Amino acid sequence: MIPHRQGDGPGRIVVPVALEGRAYDIHIGRHLLCEAVARLGALAPGARAAIVTDAHVAALHAPALEACLQQVGVAATRITIAPGEGSKSYAGLIELCEALLAAKIERNDLVIALGGGVVGDLAGFAAAVLRRGVRLVQIPTSLLAQVDSSVGGKTGINSPHGKNLIGAFHQPVLVIADTSLLDTLSAREFRAGYAEVVKYGLIDDAGFFDWCESNWRRIIDGGPERDHAVAVACRAKAAIVARDEREEGDRALLNLGHTFAHALERLTGYDSTRLVHGEAVAIGLALAFRFSQKLGLCPGQDAVRVARHLDAVGLPSTLRQAPGGTGTADEIVAAMAQDKKVRRGVLTFILARGIGRSFIAHGVAADEVRAFLEEELAAG
């Protein structure tokens, strides 16, 4: 398999993100929190830190992080937000910025996002705008955040018009992916994050998809396979971000399955108790492959293989399995209209010529999508 650059400790992996003038490392491994945090002393000498976390993650991991920061002499204030997508709002942003100002976080200080995608996106956006930009450290505590949202600098909040419509690119100075922090995730949350792992195989790495088919149980169990999977995903994302930070081209490939997924999330009111983002992505991945098959682009056996793997892991792969339910085909297409991948009514989809052979397809007709969704909804 792909060799990784080893970090300091046993089994440590370091994945560099090579952005000119803003390069940073992703440290991956079990129980590496304190040794990775120790780098902050050199990275930001004399800085204070605000730890932004949610009530749920705070109870599990904030005391350990505070102890690590204390060991390296970084004074930290904890700011706790309400868990859930609802915090990624204008009100949530104002509240967080005011709390950061009240904590006297200045230009040379650090905002540390300790949590899943919601915490990372909100804290990242606050760090981007506070005093016109404060340094950000991402310490992702969900699988989804470790393999996707903590890397690459996308930050933002939701608008009543749609998800992530208000935001900024703001790269972190360090990402610490301590894979032992994932041990506390529920089975549902872990599986949902796994959809984003397998996505990298489907985009352009058929060998990794094969490996996932054989190793997914060990990824869940937390052996070295988990670290390897996180590292492969981060390496793939780092490569894409380094060549297309602002999503003017290739970075859109990371949206495989997401046009469908965001529409389903919108129709369930972004309520993660009804539909977790990764579950929506799993359905979106299966739909992207079946839609590609319907368009005559992708062999049927590949579409079947994708769905079979998602089923084996316990993820939904059809609209009818969507935990929060779905709307009609018309409602799903209408929900896609607010997506950033839609321009003047014409859809841009990530489609596939096979497993590991995804590509950006511009100008997909809404009528074709609607007809496909009607078939999917009618299917047993």
Residue 154 pairs in a beta bridge with 169
**Ranges within 98-117 binding ligand GLY (CB under 6 A):** none
For residue 80, count other CB atoms closer than 10 A to its CB. Answer: 19
Q: Least distance to ligand GLY from the beta carbon of 195, Å?
A: 12
Q: Are 111 and 52 in contact (CB under 8 A)?
A: yes
Q: Decide if 132 is catalytic.
A: yes
Tokens of 231: 């590292």
Q: Is 148 in the site for ligand GLY (CB under 6 A)?
A: yes
Q: Are 358 and 350 in contact (CB under 8 A)?
A: yes
Query: Which is the catalytic residue, given 85, 255, 265, 279?
Result: 255
Q: Decide if 199 is catalytic.
A: no
Q: Is 88 in the site for ligand GLY (CB under 6 A)?
A: no
* Helix H or strand E segment including 369: helix 366-378
Q: Least distance to ligand GLY from the beta carbon of 152, Å?
A: 4
Q: Which stretch binds ligand GLY (CB under 6 A): 3-11, 50-58, 124-132, 146-154?
A: 146-154
| Residue with the shortest CB distance to ligand GLY | 254
Tokens of 345: 């009514």
- Candidates 13, 43, 179; CA nearest to 112 is 43
Q: Is 152 in the site for ligand GLY (CB under 6 A)?
A: yes
Q: Least distance to ligand GLY from the beta carbon of 151, Å?
A: 7
**Phi, psi dihedral angles at 75 (to 5 degrees):** -75, 135
Q: Decide if 108 is catalytic.
A: no
Q: Decide if 170 is catalytic.
A: no
Nearer to ligand GLY, 12 or 341 (CB): 341
Place of tokens 């339910």: 325
Nearer to ligand GLY, 80 or 149 (CB): 149
Q: Is 254 in the site for ligand GLY (CB under 6 A)?
A: yes
Q: Is 61 in the site for ligand GLY (CB under 6 A)?
A: no
Nearer to ligand GLY, 4 or 154 (CB): 154
Q: Which stretch binds ligand GLY (CB under 6 A): 24-32, 148-156, 330-338, 364-372?
A: 148-156
Q: Least distance to ligand GLY from the beta carbon of 153, Å?
A: 8
* Angle, in degrees to the nearest 10, between helices 329-336 and 258-267: 110
Secondary structure E strands in the chain? 5-6, 13-17, 24-29, 49-54, 76-81, 110-115, 135-140, 154-159, 162-169, 174-178, 342-343, 346-352, 358-364
Q: Decide if 88 is catalytic.
A: no
Q: Decide if 106 is catalytic.
A: no
Nearer to ligand GLY, 257 or 327 (CB): 257
How far is Cα of residue 185 from the mean position of the Cα atoms in its chain? Answer: 15
Dump the DSSP string for 78-105: EEEE-SSGGGSSHHHHHHHHHHHHHTT-
Burial of residue 213, with CB atoms counted within 10 A of its CB: 0-12 exposed, 13-18 middle, 19 or more buried: middle
Q: Least distance to ligand GLY from the beta carbon of 256, Å?
A: 10
Q: Decide if 154 is catalytic.
A: yes
Q: Decide if 255 is catalytic.
A: yes
Q: Least distance to ligand GLY from the beta carbon of 335, Å?
A: 19
Using CB under 6 A, which of 88, 199, 251, 266 touches ligand GLY?
A: 251
Annotated catalytic residues are 132, 154, 196, 237, 247, 251, 255, 258, 262, 277
Please give the residue ranges that form the binding site for ligand GLY (CB under 6 A). 148, 152, 154, 247, 251, 254
